[in-house]
Structure 1
């Protein structure tokens, strides 16, 4: 086990210990002085800072952008793009340094807009990205494939987003990377480069670990599992198949580049040779 992997396990254990101690202190006679309940949280924060600093140090040796095909077809809009800031999602954790989110908008205005109050949540079928095919961005081998987690309702309102940010995301983070990215695929593209597709639709996998795939081959469908506000595709490249130890790798989509936040782009349909 690598030092980074061990650190991430200890990080989660400390947060779980903190929550447990706080709950015990609230509902029963405290087992330890109240002030000491925050020791595990302090340890977790320290570990998180050290891991983040080590990830930032790795950026000095960042690899050149890897050109791959787009993971979707049709008309999409980019969000949280590395074209605008790095790390694109505000963290280097889970290999997300150069990750990107994209939402489907086949026609302008047909994707539900964010609402301050109502409706609090929406069903996934209201979003055109839900069920969209996910395509292999290059020839490769499936390293991981999972689609057992549920697709939850949207979090694209003020109250729902607050719940996601203040409660749900923390719980998922304590549970591990798999609960953050939800159902997901990891492809080995060779040369220590791995592609990740997150928030995959439950039950939509068409491949399994060990399968060889060809560029343009359909792998699964877009869903809304894991730490997600609405059905969308989260895509990233990284240097290791384990999200806990991976570092991000820059990417560029053939014929598209790296779309900036809010940029609308159209991906042409690729033909699988598999």
Structure 2
């Protein structure tokens, strides 16, 4: 599948099939080729705050650059599923807050896709007929309904921290089936974007590709660059 980057501005690639396969260490729920994107500042930090809570406790997701930023459809097609009933989690960057959360990972997986994905939107790509899913969206932010047609570049919701997420970010993946239990991941390539790797002095235009790990990427299209 080929799609557009689902965000405005410059974002950090924190998980990508360019680094490893499967990109999230599992093939469950069609995540084999999934990506994670974070918004960071010039120092590479994802939050505008650094307090005692960062080290030993939980944090408020509103303090993170990603949170509540608009998310856009990467492809044109029919919306086949929307789930928007989950609340956003507290952020858990610290080890004391993260360990208890991770100990319940198996329980969340057993609870099914909604426990993992949180709030999500699924679109059937009109060209490939495969499915693209954006998960962990902000509570009550999804702006469209199942069955509706959506064009690439239209807003679908806001970046959040719902589901199996310890920090606000955009998780996007492509699959060959609309049922998470039956789906197998398929490669998702992005088109017409700029990419700046650590060793690069300036961003380079990529017509079609898989963003590199820890690179900074931003879209080349009107209104989303």
Which residue is 1:184 aligned to?
A: 120
- Give yes or no for contact 1:74–1:268 (8 Å, CA) kept in 2: no
Q: Give unmatched runs, 5+ long, in structure 2.
A: 194-208
Q: Which has the higher helix share?
A: 1
Paired with 1:219 and 1:244, the residues of 2 have a C-alpha distance of 24
Over 3 Å counting, the alpha-carbon distance change for 1:138 and 1:270 in structure 2 is: farther
1:178-257 equivalences under 5 Å are: 178-190=114-126, 191-256=128-193, 257=209
2:23 to 88, 91, 100: 88
1:263 to 196, 211, 215: 215
Paired with 2:53 and 2:189, the residues of 1 have a C-alpha distance of 34
Over 3 Å counting, the alpha-carbon distance change for 1:117 and 1:135 in structure 2 is: closer
Give the secondary-structure state (helix, strand or coil) at the position aligned to 1:255: strand
- Give yes or no for contact 1:216–1:270 (8 Å, CA) kept in 2: no
TM-score using structure 1 length: 0.70
* Greater RCO, CA 8 A, separation 6+: 2
Moved over 6 A (4+): none
Say if 2:108 is the partner of 1:172: yes
Which residue is 2:206 aligned to?
A: none
Paired with 2:101 and 2:15, the residues of 1 have a C-alpha distance of 17
- Give yes or no for contact 1:121–1:153 (8 Å, CA) kept in 2: yes
Which residue is 1:19 aligned to?
A: none
1:10-43 Cα offsets, whole Å, 9 max, x none, are: xxxxxxxxxxxxxxxxxxxxxxxxxxxxxxxxxx
Which residue is 2:58 aligned to?
A: 121
Give the secondary-structure state (helix, strand or coil) at the position aligned to 2:152: coil
- Alignment size in residue pairs: 206
Paired with 1:123 and 1:183, the residues of 2 have a C-alpha distance of 18
Q: CA deviation at 1:268?
A: 4.0
Paired with 1:164 and 1:261, the residues of 2 have a C-alpha distance of 25
Paired with 2:39 and 2:83, the residues of 1 have a C-alpha distance of 22
Which residue is 2:37 aligned to?
A: 102
Paired with 1:78 and 1:116, the residues of 2 have a C-alpha distance of 25
Paired with 2:173 and 2:44, the residues of 1 have a C-alpha distance of 27
Q: CA deviation at 1:255?
A: 2.0
1:37-94 Cα offsets, whole Å, 9 max, x none, are: xxxxxxxxxxxxxxxxxxxxxxxxxxxxx22111111111011211111100000110
Q: Which has the higher strand share?
A: 2
Say if 2:13 is the partner of 1:78: yes
Paired with 2:70 and 2:156, the residues of 1 have a C-alpha distance of 7
Larger Rg: 1
